[in-house]
Amino acid sequence: MTLTTDAPAPRIALVGATGAVGTALIRLIEERGFAYRDVRLVASPRSAGRELEVDGRPYRVEALDTFDFSTVDLAFFSAGSSVSRTWVPSAVEQGALVVDNTNAFRMDPATPLVVPQVNAHELGRRPDSGIIANPNCSTIPLVRLLRPVADRWGIRQVVVSTYQAASGRGHSGIAELQEASRVTLADPAAQAPAEEFTPTLAFNVIPFIDELLESGFTLEEQKMLQESRKILGLPHLDVTTTCVRVPVVNGHSEAAWVECNDVVDRDELVRLLAAEPEVTVHDATTPGAFPTPRTAGEPDHVHVGRVRVAPHNPRGFWMWIVADNLRIGAALNALQIAEALTERGVL
């Protein structure tokens, strides 16, 4: 049990507790034994009154529009950018430190954007904004692998194609993919559901995630550029991305080309990546081996395979990356931020 009376343990609130990330966060709190003095589950008024369990204890979900944030020390927000923009300032004003899992405050200069394995130094004090931003689900695994590369060889350019699962749209995205697949299998000519994903995601890939920008890139693609620069502390890092939605229930994948300033030795590269915390390199001993969303294994690791230095340009290499987007890409990173804050006595 992680419920405790110890004074250093924070009182926490989970906003968006009934969503895909919120339920993943509850499971991780249980699995990792994160100590808290109190936990409050918060969601939209339509979800209020539902009962969920945390560590075997029942908790009734409370409505966000009437919740008193002065009763908690730490609030996790995982209910979407519009909800965060509306309610996070109020939570901060009432005294809560917020870990926000949306795009609402990531590029705010007063708000640190944190991946603990990369820039935990940002967590040594309470930020001026009262908010710590959780990065995008595709940015997190990428920067965790880029950091040791940048330290060793420097980076000139990163080109990434993402293959993002339906769970990136939450429970509703998963449900639509499953229903659309059922409809299409029964009758390929039938019109499958296409509200969360347009066109339908069933037996399809969609090279378009989030809104279209004037540049021709999507917001999801721009996030990966801006966030990588901020997290790594490399304001001129060249990252260009194509983000694609694929008919996978959960688990994002990425194909990344990284061009360095100096010649890269593959054996050294594999050793560096494998030495990173919670990283599994699948072709460390078996060249060509690779993870997939269904077969990767440990859900709290970043999985890497197909690591290959280009013979025609030995400063550059490819790698294939797979990570659980609900855990590593969202809930786990948020909880590891909270763990680091607790260890440092910031909460």
Does residue 82 sit in the same domain as residue 149?
A: no
Does residue 75 sit in the same domain as residue 144?
A: no
Per-residue pLDDT, 212: 98
Number of H helices, E strands in the chain: 8, 14
Per-residue pLDDT, 1: 56
168 annotated to a ligand binding site = yes
Does residue 129 sit in the same domain as residue 241?
A: no
78 annotated to a ligand binding site = no
Does residue 214 sit in the same domain as residue 96?
A: no
Give a yes or no: residue 243 inside a domain. Answer: yes
β-partners of residue 241 are 160
Does residue 47 sit in the same domain as residue 144?
A: no
Q: What is the mean pLDDT, run by run of 10 residues, along the chain of 347 residues? A: 83 98 98 97 95 96 98 98 98 98 98 98 97 98 98 98 98 98 97 97 98 98 98 98 98 98 98 98 93 97 98 98 98 98 94
- CATH of residue 156: 3.30.360.10
| Cα–Cα dist 127/44, whole Å | 27
Whole-model pTM?
0.96
Give a yes or no: residue 175 inside a domain. Answer: no
Report helix angle 170-186 to 20-32, nearest 10. 120
Domain that holds residue 19: 11-135+330-343
Per-residue pLDDT, 287: 85
Does residue 117 sit in the same domain as residue 252?
A: no
Among 195, 306, 185, CA closest to 256: 306
Give a yes or no: residue 145 inside a domain. Answer: yes
Does residue 108 sit in the same domain as residue 155?
A: no
175 annotated to a ligand binding site = no
Does residue 147 sit in the same domain as residue 33?
A: no
Does residue 305 sit in the same domain as residue 157?
A: yes
**Domains of the chain: total:** 2
325 annotated to a ligand binding site = yes
C-alpha to C-alpha distances, 319 to 249, 258, 260, 276, 308, nearest whole angstrom:
22, 8, 14, 15, 7
Note whether 223 and 136 are within 8 A (CB): yes
Give a yes or no: residue 2 inside a domain. Answer: no
204 annotated to a ligand binding site = no
336 annotated to a ligand binding site = no
Does residue 153 sit in the same domain as residue 276?
A: yes
Cis peptide before 311 (omega within 30 of 0): no
Per-residue pLDDT, 4: 86
Mind telling me the catalytic residues? Answer: 137, 252
| Cα–Cα dist 319/179, whole Å | 33
- CATH of residue 73: 3.40.50.720
Does residue 222 sit in the same domain as residue 92?
A: no
245 annotated to a ligand binding site = yes
Give a yes or no: residue 127 inside a domain. Answer: yes
Does residue 111 sit in the same domain as residue 131?
A: yes
